Structures are given as C-alpha cells and as structure tokens.
Amino acid sequence: DAEITQSPRHKITETGRQVTLACHQTWNHNNMFWYRQDLGHGLRLIHYSYGVQDTNKGEVSDGYSVSRSNTEDLPLTLESAASSQTSVYFCASSGRRRNEQFFGPGTRLTVL
C-alpha cells in the first residue's frame, strides 16, 4: 500500500545545531507540504513543493529550508535550531488533481 513516512519520529537537539527531518511518500504525488503544529495555532505551512526542483515558502518559513530532488522525498532542514522551533512537524502530499492531503505520522522535535 502507498504511504507517507517521516523520520525520526522523535528528536531532541541543541540550540544552534542543524537538523534535517525526512519525509518520504510512495503515492507518486506531485505536491508535498511541511507543517508545524503548536498548541493554539493549528497547522501552519512552512514550505511546499509542486514538483521536482520546485519549492515555495509558506507562512512560517524563516529558519527552515527544503529541497526537492525527486518525487518521493521532501526533507526539511532547520539551519540553526532555536527553542522556538520546538514543535510537532507534519509532512503531507497530494495528487495534482486531488484536493485532499495525506499526512505522515509527525515528528516531535525538541530544541534545548
């Protein structure tokens, strides 16, 4: 069965370190998204991609970057982790002509 996976599921890091969160989907979807979920803020869009070599900034992109070298993967990099980036991160994907998104299980990141 097709799926979307995230790794690691839990990560603790220190302020200033570079961190990369992985997202891999086997749906062959063109669209991929990264969100963060914080208490009281719902899901906020960090970055998104509509295809290979395409990346776009979302509403809370400062301090994050992504790259899309193939259809299946959209890794999210925190250049220099800050305590304000402690959050739960969700990756999602959707097909070109589909409206609903399929979400991964999430990565809980703690920055100390």
Partner 1 sequence: DQQVKQNSPSLSVQEGRISILNCDYTNSMFDYFLWYKKYPAEGPTFLISISSIKDKNEDGRFTVFLNKSAKHLSLHIVPSQPGDSAVYFCAAKFNAGKSTFGDGTTLTVKP
Q: Shortest approach of partner 1 to residue 66 CB, angstroms?
A: 14
Q: Shortest approach of partner 1 to residue 27 CB, angstroms?
A: 13
Using rule CB under 8 A, residue 50 touches partner 1: yes
Q: Which stretch binds partner 1 (CB under 8 A): 16-24, 29-37, 60-68, 75-83?
A: 29-37
C-beta of 17 vs 68, nearer to partner 1: 68
The Cα-based distances of 34 to 1, 3, 97 in angstroms read 22, 16, 19
Distance CA 53, CA 13 (A): 29
Q: Which stretch binds partner 1 (CB under 8 A): 19-27, 44-52, 61-69, 77-85?
A: 44-52
Are 53 and 64 spatial neighbours (Cβ–Cβ below 8 Å)?
no
Distance CA 7, CA 29 (A): 19
